[in-house]
Chain A
Amino acid sequence: GAVVSQHPSWVICKSGTSVKIECRSLDFQATTMFWYRQFPKQSLMLMATSNEGSKATYEQGVEKDKFLINHASLTLSTLTVTSAHPEDSSFYICSARDPQGSSYNEQFFGPGTRLTVL
């Protein structure tokens, strides 16, 4: 099946610094990737939809200047948390859609990145 990787799997940073998280589709080209945030014991909340070669579409309440998304190629999307603060600590998960796959529109999920801001 389609494989999506994320890097890093966990990161600890100081308050005020920026952190970049990568999401890669390893064996398919993804025109669309999604970024989610998951709090402990809670559901995944969609943050933004990332389309290759165009600006990301952010969900209501998500600060686009704080969570910068770049989808520069068909296999890579990045999420940069700028000037991170402790309240940004969370589990960030990406998914990618395989438009050529047998299950069109199915999303394949990465393993997630645990961000801890001190």
Chain B
Amino acid sequence: GNSVTQMEGPVTLSEEAFLTINCTYTATGYPSLFWYVQYPGEGLQLLLKATKADDKGSNKGFEATYRKETTSFHLEKGSVQVSDSAVYFCALRIYNQGGKLIFGQGTELSVKP
């Protein structure tokens, strides 16, 4: 079946620290991969995406590379800010399945000043 597994949170970092949130997936087809962010009290927002192997998605200093050989899509940022505190969701979408997204369990990030 199709599934997404993320590292468990909460992750607590100091400002300007390096961030990695691990995400691995299993998929019966050839998925597109996404990272969504949910700030407190708000809906999910698309952070970045990659649609094929070796693609790198990037936005707001965050990056993730689609690694087919390791079935991974780890999220990284070189220097986090307090404003990055949120819950991050990794997700996949299989082509020709009606656009459905399958989410990981979410990883809460807390950045301290």
Contact = CB atoms under 8 A, between A and B. Distances in A.
Contacts of A106: 46
Given A42-B106, A43-B106, A105 B43 contact: no
Contact of B43 (A43, A45, A111): A111
B89 A44 contact: yes
Given A32-B98, A106-B46, A44 B93 contact: no
Interface string A93-118: 10101000000011101111000000
Contacts of A41: 105-106, 108
Residue from B45, B89, B99, B104 whose CB has the most chain A CB atoms within 10 Å:
B99
Contacts of A112: 43
A46 B89 CA distance: 14
Interface string A1-28: 0001010000000000000000000000
A8 to B, nearest CB: 14
A49 interface: yes
B44 interface: yes
Contacts of B106: 41-43
A43 B44 contact: no
Contacts of A93: 43-44
A10 B104 CA distance: 25
Interface of A: 4, 6, 32, 34, 41-46, 49, 57, 93, 95, 97, 105-107, 109-112
Given A41-B105, A95-B101, A109-B45, 13 more contacts: A6-B43, A34-B100, A34-B101, A43-B89, A43-B104, A45-B103, A46-B102, A49-B98, A49-B99, A93-B44, A95-B44, A97-B99, A106-B46
